Structure 1
Amino acid sequence: MFELRRLRMLHELALRGSLAAVADALAYSPSTISQQLALLEREARVRLLEPDGRGVRLTAQGHLLADYAGRMLQLDEQAGVALGQPIDEPVRVAVMQTAAQTLLAAALTTLALDAPELRVEVSDVPPEEGLFELSARRFDLVLAEQYPGSSREHRADLDRQPIGRDPIRLATPPGDDATGLAALADRAWVMEPKGTAARRWALEQCRAVGFEPDVRFEIADLTTQVRLIAAGHAVGMLPDLVWTGTAPSVRTVELPGSPTRELFTAARRATASRSGILAVRSALQNAFRRRSAPRRR
């Protein structure tokens, strides 16, 4: 018989690659993780780990048991849902910054009225990290984005539901007379950090019209991006959600094809029917539908 807690540690090691990362994720010391995995090896009666430089890696048997561990963890969650976990079971939510700024308060207000006993714990996390940590069980629900012309991995263990589409526009300083993207080839740009879907998409738009943008500012905080653009230090591409209920403080220009990003929520299939997760999803959906459109000048 295997202890589920130790199987979780093995599964986390398969995902994260190091004992230190597992320890950090599960709030244990690396020595505790190492001791528990050694006990798991005794239970399994096969070698699960082998030295790899200063760390360890999974053996073939370790990978095999880690796969089974993932399925066992799913079954454990499914059993909890089937037995009717109480509504006050906390829902841990990862939201991207624009959603945190514009949708979160309205969604929490709805939940305070409709499900006052529900505890919601929220972290402002980039979509890439949030989706990874959702599979790793750090979060129960993620609000993420997908840009046109690209797609995020569809994982069999995750349930995705669309929230809506958010237009993306070129943003230039007030009074700027640029008529389109190609006219900004020689400007300084502000974009999100390398590796993000937003950065990859923005680069593709510039390259499609024939230039490589001069990205002088790599900033994840869209509020800071807005201030740099409004002050005349850069140009960029911003989603309309930034301006919910307010007039843009920059000049906005339509991009070719009027692109939109898709907002969606994702939950593990094993827990997607939990009453608390259903309630949070519904509240976020309603907040997006009821948001005030930007007041354009």
Structure 2
Amino acid sequence: MKRLRLLREVSVRGTLAAAAEALGYNASSVSHQLKLLEKEVGAPLLEPAGRKIRLTEEARILVEHAETIIRHLEAAEADIALSRQSVRGTVRVASFQTAGHAVIPGALLALQEEHPELEVRVVHLPVEEALPALLARDFDVVLQEDYPGHPQMTVEGAEIVTAGRDRLWLVTPETPDRVRLPDLAGVGWILEPRGTLARRWATGACRGAGFEPRVRFESSDVMLHMRLVNAGLGVALVPGLALGANKPVGLTVHELPGQPARRVAIAIRSGSGRSPAIAAVRQAIADQIAEKLAAGVSGGELRGGLD
């Protein structure tokens, strides 16, 4: 089983070095174990591909079986956990930034009070990297987001449930007037980096309003977006969870045509929801998302200075 897991990690990570790092081994040890596995199987498992390696057909067959075996092992662990009186263990969570600010603290406090023997570890991870990391078993619970017209990929092996719809808003420096997207063709914009779902959606929204955004700042930090807007350095498109998490004032929040919203979802590996620990964490996060989204934001309500 140990060698099958090593082979699976190589298939997921792409190199011996990356697989070794993920599992806490050195590359030479991984190489040695895979050579032993080749002898057991009686067939070559790896072959050179330029400077990298690739799996042989026999190796791919083994990896498919390894995935099934690992799922059965997870199910066995879940059944053992169900027999216990308390929820315990370690659950690893990956969250995008705005959920980390708005949702994670409340969820952790609720879990700490209800399940004191449960340890939850949280990492801020871009949504584009989160689902592959879930399937690689780096994390047990992943918070996802996707934007109108730009859905996240769906893959076999992941169970993804929508937790809510988070309204998207136009944020400008404080103004008494109603502002529309077409009015902002010549101003500086603060957007997320190229290649992200948020950037693709925001660019499309501006193009739909008849102009190409003049991007002055790029950052994945939405809180920085709001501070730059507050300083009068540009305008931004911001999700409601970000606005509610830090109570920004000194900004004016404007509704967008059609009231677009991003989808916030929670992903786990298929079948892992049987684990009491994973189920408890997923539920606590879902409860917090529902609570924060229910609080909502009203256009034009935030004014003054930035907390």
TM-score, structure 2 length as denominator? 0.89
Please give the alpha-carbon distance, in whole angstroms, between the structure 2 residues aligned to 1:27 and 1:187: 49
Moved more, 48-57 or 95-104: 48-57
Letter in 2 for 1:207: R
Instruction: Determine the structure 1 residue equivalent to 2:193.
Output: 193
What does 1:163-242 align with in structure 2 at a 5 Å threshold?
163-175=163-175, 179-242=179-242
Instruction: Determine the structure 2 residue equivalent to 1:111.
Output: 111
Instruction: Determine the structure 2 residue equivalent to 1:18.
Output: 15
Work out which of the residue numbers 42, 51, 59 in structure 2 matches 1:45.
42
Instruction: Determine the structure 2 residue equivalent to 1:258.
Output: 259
Which digits, 9 at most, give the CA deviation of each residue in 1:13-60, with x for residues without a partner? Answer: 222212222223222222222222222212211111011223211122
Instruction: Determine the structure 1 residue equivalent to 2:68.
Output: 71
Please give the alpha-carbon distance, in whole angstroms, between the structure 2 residues aligned to 1:247 and 1:51: 54
Instruction: Determine the structure 1 residue equivalent to 2:142.
Output: 142
Report the 3-state secondary structure (helix = DSSP H, G, I; strand = E; otherwise coil) of the residue aligned with 1:162. Answer: strand
CA gap of 1:217–1:176, structure 2 versus 1, over 3 A, is: farther
CA gap of 1:168–1:276, structure 2 versus 1, over 3 A, is: same
Q: Percent identity?
A: 39
Q: State whether residues 75 and 270 of structure 1, in contact with CA within 8 Å, keep that contact through their aligned partners in structure 2.
A: no
State the Cα distance separating 1:247 from its structure 2 match.
4.7
Which digits, 9 at most, give the CA deviation of each residue in 1:178-237, with x for residues without a partner? Answer: 721122222222111222211111111112222222223220111111111111112111
Moved more, 153-162 or 105-114: 153-162
Please give the alpha-carbon distance, in whole angstroms, between the structure 1 residues aligned to 2:96 and 2:250: 21
State the superposition RMSD in angstroms. 1.9
Report the 3-state secondary structure (helix = DSSP H, G, I; strand = E; otherwise coil) of the residue aligned with 2:116. Answer: coil
State the Cα distance separating 1:176 from its structure 2 match.
7.8
Which digits, 9 at most, give the CA deviation of each residue in 1:141-165, with x for residues without a partner? Answer: 0111121223222223111222111
Moved more, 22-31 or 269-278: 22-31
Which digits, 9 at most, give the CA deviation of each residue in 1:98-141, with x for residues without a partner? Answer: 11111111111111121111111111111121111000000000
Please give the alpha-carbon distance, in whole angstroms, between the structure 1 residues aligned to 2:64 and 2:114: 39
Q: State whether residues 206 and 213 of structure 2, in contact with CA within 8 Å, keep that contact through their aligned partners in structure 1.
A: yes
Moved more, 153-162 or 134-143: 153-162
Letter in 1 for 2:72: L
State the Cα distance separating 1:95 from its structure 2 match.
0.9
Moved more, 4-13 or 245-254: 245-254
Question: How many pairs are equivalent?
Answer: 294
Letter in 2 for 1:202: A
Letter in 1 for 2:265: F
Please give the alpha-carbon distance, in whole angstroms, between the structure 1 residues aligned to 2:267 and 2:63: 23
Structure 2: runs of 5+ lacking an equivalent: 303-307
Letter in 2 for 1:193: P
CA gap of 1:249–1:135, structure 2 versus 1, over 3 A, is: farther
Please give the alpha-carbon distance, in whole angstroms, between the structure 2 residues aligned to 1:196 and 1:252: 23
Q: State whether residues 166 and 261 of structure 1, in contact with CA within 8 Å, keep that contact through their aligned partners in structure 2.
A: yes
Please give the alpha-carbon distance, in whole angstroms, between the structure 1 residues aligned to 2:249 and 2:166: 15
Instruction: Determine the structure 1 residue equivalent to 2:271.
Output: 270
Moved more, 286-295 or 17-26: 286-295
Q: State whether residues 163 and 285 of structure 1, in contact with CA within 8 Å, keep that contact through their aligned partners in structure 2.
A: yes
Q: State whether residues 193 and 199 of structure 1, in contact with CA within 8 Å, keep that contact through their aligned partners in structure 2.
A: yes
State the Cα distance separating 1:288 from its structure 2 match.
2.1
Structure 1: runs of 5+ lacking an equivalent: none
Work out which of the residue numbers 5, 30, 43 in structure 2 matches 1:8.
5
CA gap of 1:166–1:17, structure 2 versus 1, over 3 A, is: same
Please give the alpha-carbon distance, in whole angstroms, between the structure 1 residues aligned to 2:232 and 2:248: 18
Moved more, 193-202 or 27-36: 27-36
Moved more, 93-102 or 248-257: 248-257
Please give the alpha-carbon distance, in whole angstroms, between the structure 2 residues aligned to 1:257 and 1:11: 45
